[in-house]
Amino acid sequence: MDRFRIQGPTRLAGRVRASGAKNASLPALAACLLTSEPVILGRLPAVRDILTMRRLLEHLGVITEDVGGALRLEARGKAHDDEAPYELVKTMRASVLSLGPLVARRGHARVSLPGGCAIGVRPIDQHLAGLAALGADIHLEGGYVEARADRLAGGRFRFDMPTVGGTENLMMAAVLARGTTVLDNCAREPEIVDLARLLVKMGADIEGAGSPTVTIRGADELGGAEHEIIPDRIEGGTYLIGAAMTGGDVTLEGACPGDLGPLLDTLGEVGATVDLADGAIRVRGDEPLRAADVETAPHPGFPTDLQAQYMALATLAEGTSHIQETVFENRFQHVPELARMGAVIDVTGNVARVYGPTPLSGSPVMATDLRASACLVLAALAASGETEIQRIYHLDRGYERMEEKLRSLGAQVERVAG
């Protein structure tokens, strides 16, 4: 298993380009199952989860081809395998996004119950209840979900909580249902808006994506489309936090500042300077950092996917930062690893109190999930001495060429194979 060896402390400085958003790419890839015509997706990040989704789609009979930096996907005919097997699904929860499109277009799907990051229980009950509301017969057996419907029928469904994957799955199911579907209490993440944009290009009729109520008028069939994925706000946000916490000066190019509002506000609060110009975001850490509280929440709140990285910053800020995690119940796995590097953090329930500033020192640490790994990388950049981070396969799931990007900003990062 590969490791990162990082020498700190480093000041991150320079320009870095945001990759395409992993979390927008995954539903966009699943959407190709909704048509027999080619879908061409640009700016897909070269990360492990995208490769896993590609393998899954190929297993489901989709023909995939790299064409000049984009990926062409063609799900011809209906007569392919409808099963998303455990071996492919176990490493990536987003495989469940194949469920809605498969049952909508092929009338049948059998999808292994998902794996992915160990950051909580993460059930898919809302996906299933929503599909049932559109008329699918759902059975759970032997670790698989089986869904059947001759043709889904539009209906009204209210999510118990805003779920990103649930909203995406139901939107993709409803675009081929007979009649109109109204989804209430939807998640509002930019990745959902991007999926809706792609589906509309494919001929779908969707209103309200990005708001709590989404209305979808079903079509008999959809066609092909070309689409460029939005920038990855979580990847970009990670580098900007790195700039603030290393006293650095980083310009993130090809970004969408509007999607990063809560993080940029918080960076301002802790004392970093944030400037915006033409899709670029510049963050400078030229003052001592001050503590600021953060509470994660569904969009447009502070993203849970940046909580761990923000905690690395909070260890260097003067005062006590309260960090409350409200989206996932088990997302403080980075706390003991940060403590090994010198951080002082108390956890009570879903609140972490970070007492700063504490000098960080390089130590051997273990990555436990995707964003926790990014937190350890940031801590290692700011720490004095060498940090070795084990199990960086977690990082490879979601960060494109991370060590190259960090090196281009002046960091000393080495990937050690084995």
List active site positions: 117
User: Shortest gap between Cβ of 121 and ligand UD1 (angstroms)?
Assistant: 6
Residues in region 212-241 near ligand UD1 by CB under 6 A = none
User: Shortest gap between Cβ of 26 and ligand UD1 (angstroms)?
Assistant: 5
Nearer to ligand UD1, 26 or 406 (CB): 26
For residue 85, CA distances in Å to 52, 64, 99, 275, 279 come to 12, 19, 12, 46, 40
Which residues neighbour 213 within 8 Å (Cβ) at sequence distance 6 or greater?
Answer: 182, 183, 184, 186
CB 244 within 8 A of CB 289: yes
Between CA 314 and CA 334 the distance in angstroms is 13
Would you state the structure tokens that stand for residue 304, as one six-digit string?
Answer: 């849970």
Three-state SS for 370? helix
Which residues neighbour 97 within 8 Å (Cβ) at sequence distance 6 or greater?
Answer: 26, 27, 30, 165, 168, 169, 172
Q: Which of 166, 218, 285, 356 binds ligand UD1 (CB under 6 A)?
A: 166
Residues in region 71-110 near ligand UD1 by CB under 6 A = 93-94
Q: Which of 66, 87, 125, 207 binds ligand UD1 (CB under 6 A)?
A: 125
Among 73-81, 118-126, 217-225, 353-361, the segment contacting ligand UD1 (CB under 6 A): 118-126
The yes or no reply on residue 127 touching ligand UD1 (CB under 6 A) is yes
Q: Which of 16, 18, 26, 374 binds ligand UD1 (CB under 6 A)?
A: 26
Q: Which of 161, 205, 279, 286 binds ligand UD1 (CB under 6 A)?
A: 161
Q: For ligand UD1, what does the binding mask look like between residues 300 and 339, x meaning CB under 6 A?
A: ----xx---------------------xx-----------
The yes or no reply on residue 163 touching ligand UD1 (CB under 6 A) is yes
Between CA 174 and CA 149 the distance in angstroms is 12
Q: Which of 17, 54, 122, 178 binds ligand UD1 (CB under 6 A)?
A: 122
Q: Which of 95, 126, 315, 387 binds ligand UD1 (CB under 6 A)?
A: 126
Largest CA distance in the chain: 62
Between CA 136 and CA 147 the distance in angstroms is 6
Between CA 45 and CA 221 the distance in angstroms is 29
User: Shortest gap between Cβ of 332 and ligand UD1 (angstroms)?
Assistant: 14
Among 12-20, 124-132, 200-208, 220-228, the segment contacting ligand UD1 (CB under 6 A): 124-132
Among 3-11, 105-113, 114-122, 310-318, the segment contacting ligand UD1 (CB under 6 A): 114-122
The yes or no reply on residue 177 touching ligand UD1 (CB under 6 A) is no
Nearer to ligand UD1, 63 or 161 (CB): 161
Nearest-5° Cα angle at 16, 5 to 404: 30
Q: Which of 1, 63, 67, 120 binds ligand UD1 (CB under 6 A)?
A: 120
Which residue's Cβ lies closest to ligand UD1? Answer: 165
Sheet of 319-324, strands arranged across: 294-295, 319-324, 351-356, 344-348
Which residues neighbour 262 within 8 Å (Cβ) at sequence distance 6 or greater?
Answer: 300, 301, 302, 303
| Interface positions with ligand UD1 (CB under 6 A) | 23, 26, 93-94, 120-127, 161, 163-166, 187, 191, 304-305, 327-328
